[in-house]
Structure 1
Amino acid sequence: MGAHEAVTAREAVLTPDAHGPAPRVRRELLVGLLLFSAYALVTRLPEQGRTATARAHGEAIFNLERALHLDVEPRLNGWLAHQSVLRVLANYEYAITYIASALILLIWLFIRHPERYRTARNAFILLNIGGLATFALYPVMPPRLMPDLGFVDTVLLGGTWGSWGSPMVEHADKFAAVPSLHMGWTLWVGVELARVNARRWVQVLNAAHVLVTLYVILATANHFIVDAAAAVPFVAVSVFIADRISGPAPVRAQGPDAFFLAVETPDAPQHAGGVIMLDTSRREVGRDDLVRVVGERLAGLPRFRQRLVRRGRWRRPVWRHHGAVDWGWHVAERHVDGMSGLRAVVAELQSEALPLDRPPWRMVVVKGAEPGRTAVVYLMHHVVADGVGIVAQAVYLMDPPPEPAKAGPPRQRLRRALATVVGLGQLAVDTASPDRLPAAGTSERRFGTMHLPLATVRDVGRRYGARVTDVVLCAVAGALNRVVSEEDGRPGTCRVAVPLMMRPPGSAMVGNHTTAVMVDLPIGKMAETDRLALISKRSRVLRSGTRAQAAWTVMWQAGRILPAPLHARFARKAYSGRFLQGTVSSLPGPDRPLRMAGAPLTAVYPVVPLAPGTPFAIAGLGVDRELCFGLSLDPGLVDDADVLMDAVLDVIEELRDEPE
């Protein structure tokens, strides 16, 4: 599939269709109408034939309560009947709040938690169907219709407009007492609020509403306490069944994830990953081996079986279960002639957008790159996870299995808030547009690799009082100076984004938890030792934490607050050649020997996407005792990625060999 076809497929999938917002709203309204029609059928049952039965059932329940000393209704009802104001308020509470709370919750879930809405709605339907069936099969007369037992009908006494028993709803089913759907609906609201982890004050407010509703249904003599208790198993069974018939619930793409979906263009596909090199001198690894490994571990890789579906312009796309994995497309095998052929395959794959009509991941087994070596090109759309998350998913496919991540200490909110405020002020003054580097501005890519002992880079850093990241930034800046001349458009500085992980310890492998801090690299002519000293000074912004915290807060809150179209516009402006000219990343990798499909891992070269309008992205990944580099390149900057990679190595070696 070419880049144009891939983007076309993406647009086709993300275009609103029969499952868009308007049709879904009409469908939900139709479901509500059908449910109301079912209730109307129950109310049309002959009342004369049900009255005696309902009376007998009501007396039986009351006698049972008296035997168990649970008959609190007469005392509550007798007191409320003499409180004129509270009596009216209780009647209105009985008539309105349970309906309002259920409708508000359904609308809120539909808009804010679509991943939970369908299951919650199905539980609500089952709860009502179960209640309607019980009303028809086991009619129960409420206490208020049995004045001879000492109960007072507070609705008739107060003439409350719109409440049960008033003229407005005089055709309502009078014998719909068991179970109490007032209690059922409020308890169901509480269950769903807990399942979406709603704010604590909201759950506390609903708990108070449940208690008030319990008091009201008893004090107004609309229900026995047994009616309220009967609602509990109805809610529990309905939720249990709904969880099993609704299938996997869709998950909404969070703001930071949607950020990378929004910035993708036909000329700037946004998939990341790596080239995994395996030692197959003793054991051959092929496509079938990789299919087996991935198939065995699919349960721990949710995005491998999900695709993105857009639900309209104003709503975030959701992840939906895709069904069977198309192994023929997701896992392929290629044969090349040497490392240059492998790099050409990676460059080709980088230039093609991953189609989103299927789970956005792909693996290609490449043979022939080196004697006794097999490469696995692993690509995942950036909407799934950040660099650390993608590395974690790759490691999950290897042996030995990773140890469970430990949860980190709780964040200090005041400290984080202060850092955000300071960082916002710093970002406000960093608004000047960077100088431009030459670029072709097409989807065509070049890919380069390099690896060297991690100890070498650390030794250089210690020698000059710099960090490994500083050495890498200096090597990139010096390499640009060497391979891009002033005649070709090389400016004096190059602003690069340095991604920093904000991923909390113990978090899942999916989701983007990354931010970026800009550093201006001097790429003019100067001694490399002077360049490193200047970069070490400028890169202090990476370690202060204030800019990173502020940028992350802006990115996260923009995804939460801004409507989807405005958030997409914000993402496209913030992550483009208008504010940066390259990406330089340093990623933590596995620090122990690993195997994939039984073959030892020897190296992993990162694959990093280019931000729209930028000409290069380079990342270093620590793998055991090696530092592996992957370079993604717009050929308008340098036509041969190996030339720029060699220049990076030359700078590091020059720094290493510089006499003290």
Structure 2
Amino acid sequence: MSKPDEIPALSYILEPALVAALLTAGCLLNKRKASDIVQAHTLSGNLSPVISNPQNTAWNFKEMKFLLWKIKVPSNTRFRMNLFSRFLGMFPFLLEVWYWLLTYWIYQIARAMQALTMGSDFRILAERHARQIIEIEKVLHLDMELALQRIVMERSWLLTFFNKTYAMVHIPATIAFMAYSYRYFSPLVFQSTRRTLVLCNCLAFIVFSSWPCMPPRLLPFEEFGYIDTLHTGKAASIWTTNKFQNQLAAFPSLHFGYSFVIGLSLFIYSPHKLIRAISLFYPILILLVIMATANHYILDAVGGFFVTIVAHKINRLVLNLRPIEEWFFWLLRCERPMDKVQFDSLIHQDGFITADHRDMSQRPLMSVSPE
């Protein structure tokens, strides 16, 4: 495990600043025009009751599906002209930022709690599973991790590149992908991809909680010969410095699972030829990196691949959380930004928008006085 004194002091500023900059860039890249917001609500026939009748303080319920049932949730259109609602309406990617942070911290906290509660028996079991994976790889002639690590370690520049890639690329690359795909993918594709990534975390947590596996770098060196290049080489990142981190979670590899989803999605759906041309190199690079740094076996990557497939097949299960989301926005007295699928379909169709609506939309963050 990395130690704080192995990390340059500037990293505590630069690494979070990079993540914050990417999240901010995503919000700016996906900013909605005020006129488009009003046009979308006009064409949907869903004008705020506050605008049409400022004396109206009533609010209605709507039905949403939750698993096998339909339940009532509040309709939050009455909060549309609240400052927070209008701000979110202009910067809808903020919602994705919050969801990503929520998913990330729930996942990290769950791993930390597991790390604090597991005993010596858990470690013994994890090493036993690691040995089983190595035996399976030998039978299948896939045991390439040690040979790959030795090749990389003979080239110091390549070793440094691989260490830094493992420590610092995963989170920024994921954020950049989310911002890019929100802007350039079709809304349905983006939402399906986002839900898939969320479920990858859930499924992976279930697997390594019930089937812990020790990474190659923690196996006895005298017997296996693996070197923890990331930490012995002092290539630590603040993202890998966590004394509460569960290190016995090699299988499946979310580093590879995420990179596979990102690379394949960009290859299929990106409108830019250059990005499509280089997209598949990303999962290949990550696969080499996780093995050369002794953080994963190749079968961990295979496990990560199948986790993404299952997550994609069942990703619509996440939609059952929508009623909770609506109640949360009601507690905040805020209207959720219009769904990207509906918003894009409305602003790209030919519709009529009145001069009054156009005038009103020019100051979406200011209070609107009734005519």
User: TM-score normalised by the shorter chain: which range applies?
Assistant: 0.5 to 0.7
User: Structure 2 residue aligned with 1:172, among 233, 241, 245?
Assistant: 245
Counterpart of 2:308 in structure 1 is: 235
Question: AA paired with 1:154?
Answer: T
Counterpart of 2:218 in structure 1 is: 145
Aligned residues: 264
* Cα offset, 1:175, TM superposition: 1.0
Output aligned runs, 1:376-415, within 5 Å.
none
* Cα offset, 1:193, TM superposition: 2.7
Counterpart of 2:280 in structure 1 is: 207
Q: Label 1:254 to 1:199 Cα distance change in 2 as closer, same or farther (>3 A).
A: farther
Distance 2:168 2:106 in 1: 21
Distance 2:163 2:316 in 1: 34
Distance 1:26 1:244 in 2: 20
Question: AA paired with 2:163?
Answer: N
1:44 matches 2:119: no
Distance 2:250 2:283 in 1: 17
Q: Over residues 571-608 of structure 1, what are the superposed CA-to-partner deviations in whole Å (9 max), with x where a residue is unaligned?
A: xxxxxxxxxxxxxxxxxxxxxxxxxxxxxxxxxxxxxx
Q: Over residues 469-520 of structure 1, what are the superposed CA-to-partner deviations in whole Å (9 max), with x where a residue is unaligned?
A: xxxxxxxxxxxxxxxxxxxxxxxxxxxxxxxxxxxxxxxxxxxxxxxxxxxx
* Cα offset, 1:252, TM superposition: 4.2
Q: Label 1:25 to 1:249 Cα distance change in 2 as closer, same or farther (>3 A).
A: closer
Distance 2:310 2:287 in 1: 20
Question: Helix, strand or coil: the match of 2:295?
Answer: coil
Question: AA paired with 2:272?
Answer: R
Distance 1:104 1:135 in 2: 27
Post-superposition, which runs of at least 4 consecutive aligned residues in structure 1 deviate over 6 A? 6-9
Distance 2:81 2:276 in 1: 34
Q: Over residues 261-305 of structure 1, what are the superposed CA-to-partner deviations in whole Å (9 max), with x where a residue is unaligned?
A: 4x434699xxxxxxxxxxxxxxxxxxxxxxxxxxxxxxxxxxxxx
Q: Label 1:120 to 1:83 Cα distance change in 2 as closer, same or farther (>3 A).
A: same
Q: Label 1:7 to 1:222 Cα distance change in 2 as closer, same or farther (>3 A).
A: closer
Are 1:91 and 1:163, in contact at CA under 8 Å, matched by a contact in 2? no
Q: Label 1:267 to 1:216 Cα distance change in 2 as closer, same or farther (>3 A).
A: closer
Larger Cα-atom Rg = 1
User: Structure 2 residue aligned with 1:56, among 113, 123, 128?
Assistant: 128
User: Structure 2 residue aligned with 1:24, among 87, 91, 95?
Assistant: 95
Counterpart of 1:218 in structure 2 is: 291
Output aligned runs, 1:120-139, within 5 Å.
120-139=193-212
* Cα offset, 1:31, TM superposition: 4.1
Question: Helix, strand or coil: the match of 1:169?
Answer: coil
Question: Helix, strand or coil: the match of 2:244?
Answer: coil
Are 2:43 and 2:346, in contact at CA under 8 Å, matched by a contact in 1? no
Output aligned runs, 1:174-189, within 5 Å.
174-189=247-262
Distance 1:209 1:180 in 2: 15
User: Structure 1 residue aligned with 2:48, among 2, 7, 12?
Assistant: 12
Q: Label 1:182 to 1:59 Cα distance change in 2 as closer, same or farther (>3 A).
A: same
Output aligned runs, 1:260-339, within 5 Å.
260-261=351-352, 263-265=353-355
- Structure with bigger RCO (C-alpha 8 Å, 6+ apart): 2
Question: AA paired with 1:98?
Answer: H
Are 1:142 and 1:177, in contact at CA under 8 Å, matched by a contact in 2? yes
Question: AA paired with 2:281?
Answer: A
Distance 1:7 1:43 in 2: 52
- Structure 2: gaps (5+ residues): 1-41, 50-76, 321-338, 366-371
User: Structure 2 residue aligned with 1:100, among 158, 168, 172?
Assistant: 172
Q: Which has the higher helix share?
A: 2
Question: Helix, strand or coil: the match of 2:107?
Answer: helix
Distance 2:134 2:357 in 1: 74
Question: Helix, strand or coil: the match of 2:117?
Answer: coil
Distance 1:83 1:138 in 2: 35
Q: In terms of mean alpha carbon deviation, does 243-252 or 126-135 score higher?
A: 243-252
TM-score between both structures, scaled by the size of structure 1:
0.36
Counterpart of 1:538 in structure 2 is: none
Q: Over residues 420-461 of structure 1, what are the superposed CA-to-partner deviations in whole Å (9 max), with x where a residue is unaligned?
A: xxxxxxxxxxxxxxxxxxxxxxxxxxxxxxxxxxxxxxxxxx
Q: Label 1:32 to 1:66 Cα distance change in 2 as closer, same or farther (>3 A).
A: closer
Counterpart of 2:348 in structure 1 is: 257
Q: State the percentage of identical aligned residues.
A: 22
Q: Over residues 605-624 of structure 1, what are the superposed CA-to-partner deviations in whole Å (9 max), with x where a residue is unaligned?
A: xxxxxxxxxxxxxxxxxxxx
* Cα offset, 1:219, TM superposition: 1.3
Question: AA paired with 1:107?
Answer: A
Question: AA paired with 1:126?
Answer: L
* Cα offset, 1:7, TM superposition: 9.8
Distance 1:190 1:223 in 2: 19
Counterpart of 2:230 in structure 1 is: 155
Distance 2:160 2:81 in 1: 48
1:85 matches 2:157: yes
TM-score between both structures, scaled by the size of structure 2:
0.61
Q: Which has the higher strand share?
A: 1
* Cα offset, 1:217, TM superposition: 1.1
Question: Helix, strand or coil: the match of 1:250?
Answer: helix
Output aligned runs, 1:488-499, within 5 Å.
none
